[in-house]
Structure 1
Amino acid sequence: MKSFLLPIGILILVLFSDYVFACPGCAGSMDNPKDARLVWILVTFIGLIYIPFFILYKTIHKYRKNSVASKIHEEEQQ
């Protein structure tokens, strides 16, 4: 099933890739009043994405160090 879905997914990405590109005059132009809050929307989005992943990374990093230290400690006691 995977071998069937991969070419289909690549084909869809190639066919619709031109829809995700925005011209520099269209995305974030200073003349468009709708883009007045664009920076704040982007800052909020980046913050909402970055903060949870940073917390997750720090948690994984902390417990990985503890598990490595406990394995070394167990090996020393044997």
Structure 2
Amino acid sequence: MSSTDPKEPELSRIIEMAWEDRTPFEAIEALYGLPEKEVIKVMRRELKPSSFRLWRKRVTGRKTKHQELRPEGVIRAYCPTQYKR
């Protein structure tokens, strides 16, 4: 997949993963080959300007969005209570 032109299903999943607080940018790069700067470009292109600003504000400084900054206790991409049955 070209880093500048992801296809629709991949694009949707990339955006979803980028919005997830506990999914690091490294996971997106491992799955789709898009480094953090490319993810930011995709988000800027695909989101409304106000949504992009909200997303940037949300992810800026989040330790869980970068693998090496994550606390050791964070081992999953979702909160333990998110998928309770």
TM-score above 0.5, yes or no = no
Bigger proportion of residues as helix: 1
Task: Pick 1 or 2: higher relative contact order, CA cutoff 8 A, min separation 6.
Answer: 2
Q: TM-score range by the shorter chain?
A: under 0.3
TM-score (norm: length of structure 2): 0.24
Q: Which has the larger radius of gyration?
A: 1
